[in-house]
Amino acid sequence: APRQFEAARPTEAKGFFLQAGSFADLGNANLLRDQLRANGPVSIASVQVNGSEFYRVMVGPWATREEAGQAQARLTAVGTKALIVAK
């Protein structure tokens, strides 16, 4: 049967990102991505952690840590905790 969710794609851009979530289930990552689209560019990065695949929901990039911090505050205000990640 065909997959019902978009395939994850790696985040290749450079700068400061917000990691808004990390999920073992791609469907959950897609749901959060869709909720966060109004807050800026959102992508899903597939990563291996201790032999298991996880899907990280990444918002951004921003050119400076300060800009990422402002975006982080906006996400926190709507109930989403996010970590600033430099790439």
Residue 9: what pLDDT? 47
Q: What is the pTM (predicted TM-score) of this model?
A: 0.81
**Which structure tokens are listed for 49?**
């952690």
CA–CA gap between residue 56 and residue 43 (Å, rounded): 8
Contact by Cβ (8 Å): 57, 25: no
**What is the end-to-end Cα distance of the chain in Å, rounded?**
36
**Which structure tokens are listed for 72?**
């982080």
Confidence of residue 50 (pLDDT cuts 50, 70, 90): very high
Alpha-carbon Rg of the chain, whole angstroms? 13
Confidence of residue 8 (pLDDT cuts 50, 70, 90): very low
What count of Cα atoms within 13 Å lies in the side-chain half-sphere of residue 58?
Answer: 25
What value does the mean pLDDT take over residues 11-40? Answer: 91
Burial 38-51 (b: 16+ CB within 10 A, else e): ebbebbbbeeeeee
**Span 16-86: which CATH code?**
3.30.70.1070
